Amino acid sequence: MEIPIWIGMFAPKGTPPELVERINRAVAAAQDKQEFVDALARGAVNVRTTTVAAFTKYVADQYQMWGKLAKEIDLQAE
């Protein structure tokens, strides 16, 4: 079984969509800078940016998938 680990950026609920898109474009532009990519690579991080809509869907899908599994196996917090 392979479980990927991902990191994302989130903004508070109600953040104007224009600002979220602007931040997303800035992060995407950073991946064009080799210094940024190299710094993350030293921490074994591969940079992959996406659209705000695609990331929103991915997070919702992950939440649903892992939530379903947690219920199926009756996962409880200690």
Model confidence pLDDT, tens digit, residues 5-60: 888 899 999 999 999 999 999 989 988 899 988 998 898 888 788 999 999 999 99
Q: How much is the CA Rg of the chain, to the nearest whole Å?
A: 16
Counting the structural domains of the chain, the total is 1
Show the domain range for 68: 17-72
pLDDT at residue 22, rounded to an integer: 96
The reply to whether 40 falls in a domain is: yes
Q: Is residue 11 part of a domain?
A: no
Q: Looking at the domain assignment, is residue 54 inside a domain?
A: yes
Helix (H) / strand (E) containing 55: helix 52-72
First-to-last alpha carbon distance for the chain, in angstroms, is: 24
Share of the chain above pLDDT 90, in %: 64
pTM: 0.74
For all residues of the chain together, what is the average pLDDT? 91
